[in-house]
Amino acid sequence: MGLPTLEFSDSFVDSPDFRERLKCHEFELDRTNKFIKDLIKDGNMLITALRNLSAAVQKFSQSLQEFQFECIGDAETDDEVNIAQSFKEFSQLLNTVEEERRRLIQNAGDVLITPLEKFRKEQIGAAKEGKKKFDKETEKYYSTLERHLNLSSKKKEAYLQEADTQIDKERQLFYDASLEYVFKIQEVQEKKKFEFVEPLLSFLQGLFTFYHEGYELAHEFEPYKQQLQFNLQNTRNNFVSTKQEVEKLMKRIRSVDQDYKPPGQWTMEGFLFVQEKRPLGCTWTRHYCTYDKGSKAFTMSNTDTKSSGKQVTEMFQLKSCIRRKTDSIDKRFCFDIEVMERHGVMTLQALSEANRRLWLEAMDGKEPVRSRIHTMGLYRIGGVNSKVQKLMSTVFCKLNVNIEINNLKDKLKTKAFYYLLLHPVFILFYFCSSESDDQNYRVCAVHALVHKLPERNKEMLELLIKHLVTVSTHHQLNLMTVSNLGVIFGPTLMRSQEETVAAMMNIKFQNIVVEILIENFTKVTEKRCLSVLKRNNQRTKGTRIIAMYSCEAEHSHELSFPQGAHFTNVYPSVEPGWLQATYEGKTGLIPENYVLFL
């Protein structure tokens, strides 16, 4: 029910019903006045809290700004430089957000508190003053009326006329006070609809503007965040490589060898362990699985309800099932399936070999037919000694190298390569990665050092890097990107003369050199000097070039091309590191370090 209407004509009647309706309005004004007081109090508390929060964030931002990363080693990689600058980027972002918050706090008093206080004092206060005047005139009028009615009729006519005139005057004053009070009450009730609500709307608009500014800043921060995540992943990979080498050194010093074996306790009886790929690695979770051969319906129910709190069941349509090779994964009893609802393969693990055969028979599973180069995680798993020695014997016979095979009991990727590539010049490779940030300079430096190697060493190096280039071109399947290959082969190809912790910290530069060798294999192995080749490229126009790697265009003015593509009409571009060329009738920009001049 809303408030009852007050009619001006009721002021003349002044009935009990009119008085009751008037009390309803007065009660509502008192309630509104109390609410505004509480709202002003809470608003001041909110502004104080925002001011304290802003001060805390500014202090936090200042701490980030003042902190300086210090990395181990004489020089830093590009990834480490970017990570060291990340705190300052975070600080700048927080400062930008706080500038908008400070504007919100500065305007909050004028936008919210002042208008509310003004409405309470001027409007509701005026209504209260009207009530006081109305009550005063009411008491005065009815007192005068009572005395007037008690006058004797025997009084003189002149006296009675004067009394009538006085009561009429008092009645008029009462009516005026009643009408003004009724008008003021209704005026305040109507004004509160907009003068009371508008300040709240303005304050919320300022708050939403602050939140929108935060959203815009987050959108602008996204590219930097993605680049930083890439840098963090690279440093994580370098850390893993460095940690392994440092741990080996520590174990040799302590003369204690400890082989880590992953646990293999799995459950069967309808249960399978499913491999789930996540940004920080792969995890295995237990699922209760069912398969219907007639409909090819495969269901998985997650039995680990600790995190989600409820059981989730997924249903798929099976496409194929293939047994997983033992040497292609570090888990036993695994097989891969393909389903309609997901892209790629799902890797499952059974409890035993017998249980895996039952699943393969039920799903019409097949034996794996795939190239070794497509094996996921290639070169991350050590080889069998007998196979390693056989492979080394074959390679060394072709290269006419006299070496005692029985003394090589480590993996192929350690002592064999170390023997063939050991040379003072090659050990200094990692220093060229810190000389300059120019990629072309680094390639030229590596080129010069490679061609100072003895012929046998250089021949073995070219044979290895050529194979790694082939491996990297299949990184979509084997997950061995150029960066991953650098992490694996960097410590092997450029092992330090002294195994110390300081030397282990330079592994990150060794990884960069291996990446340069793989990415610029053709340039590094060709006989003429790269600096001359670069000058010839800059002044050559209209010549033909060939793509050493495939490339996917990211913008409309760039060209997409496969490995081995031939380009014509080649011109230097105004953008450093890019060329303008024509391929299949289309002209656009191509990266200079992806091609070779014919």
Q: What 3-state class would DSSP assign to 336?
A: strand
Per-residue pLDDT of the chain (598 residues; tens, 9 = 90+): 577 777 777 777 777 888 888 888 888 888 888 888 888 888 889 888 888 888 888 888 888 888 887 777 777 788 878 888 888 888 888 888 888 888 888 888 888 888 888 888 888 888 888 888 888 888 888 888 888 888 777 777 788 888 888 888 888 888 888 888 888 888 888 888 787 788 888 888 888 888 888 888 888 888 888 888 888 888 888 888 788 787 877 777 665 444 333 333 333 347 889 988 777 777 888 888 888 888 888 988 886 656 556 778 889 999 999 998 877 788 888 999 999 988 888 999 988 888 888 888 888 888 876 566 777 777 766 655 666 666 666 665 655 544 443 333 333 344 434 444 444 344 444 344 444 456 777 788 788 778 877 888 888 888 889 888 988 888 888 888 888 888 888 877 776 656 676 667 777 777 888 888 999 988 888 876 554 444 444 444 456 788 888 999 888 888 999 988 998 888 887 677 888 889 998 889 999 888 887 7
| Domains defined along the chain, listed by start | 9-204 (1.20.1270.60), 271-370 (2.30.29.30), 385-525 (1.10.555.10), 540-597 (2.30.30.40)
CB 349 within 8 A of CB 330: no
Quick one: tokens of 213? Answer: 């500014």
CA 274 to chain centre: 26
Phi, psi dihedral angles at 578 (to 5 degrees): -125, 150
Q: Which long-range contacts (CB under 8 A, 24 or more apart) does 537-544 make?
A: 537/572, 537/579, 537/592, 537/597, 538/572, 539/572, 540/570, 540/597, 541/570, 541/571, 541/572, 542/568, 542/569, 542/570, 542/571, 543/570, 543/597, 543/598, 544/568, 544/570, 544/597, 544/598
- End-to-end CA, the chain: 90
Question: What is the sign, positive or negative, of the torsion defined by CA atoms of 68, 72, 75, 78?
Answer: negative
Which residues 6+ apart lie within 8 Å of 415 measured at CB? 408
In angstroms, the Cα distances linking 433 to 76, 197, 215, 484 are: 10, 65, 39, 17
User: In whole angstroms, how far apart are CA 329 and each of 378, 435, 442, 473?
Assistant: 9, 40, 36, 20
Sign of the Cα pseudo-torsion (183, 189, 193, 198, in order): positive
Across-strand partners of 366? 322
For residues 147, 148, 151, 153, the Cα torsion angle rounded to the nearest 10 degrees is -170
Q: Round to whole Å and give the CA distance between 396 and 89.
A: 53
Q: Which residues contact 20 (CB under 8 A, 6 or more apart)?
A: none
What pLDDT is recorded for position 524? Answer: 84
Q: What are phi and psi of 552, to 5 degrees?
A: -110, 120
Q: Would the CA dihedral through 27, 32, 38, 41 be positive or negative? A: negative
Edge-first strand listing for the sheet containing 595-597: 586-591, 578-583, 566-572, 543-547, 595-597
CA distance 436 to 455: 28
β-bridge mates for residue 301, sequence order = 288, 313
The answer to whether the CB of 322 falls within 8 A of the CB of 296 is: no
Parallel/antiparallel/unpaired status of strands 281-292 and 566-572: unpaired
H/E element, 347: strand 345-349
Which backbone phi and psi does 301 adopt, to 5 degrees?
-120, 120
- What is the tens place of the pLDDT at every residue in 278-316? 777 778 888 888 888 888 889 888 866 565 567 788 899
Do 337 and 272 form a contact (C-beta atoms < 8 A)? no
The pTM score is 0.40
Interatomic CA distance for residues 474 and 477, integer angstroms: 6
User: Going by C-beta distance under 8 Å and a sequence separation of 6 or more, which residues neighbour residue 499?
Assistant: 249
Q: For the segment 71-80, what is each residue's pLDDT rounded down to a tens digit?
A: 777 777 888 7
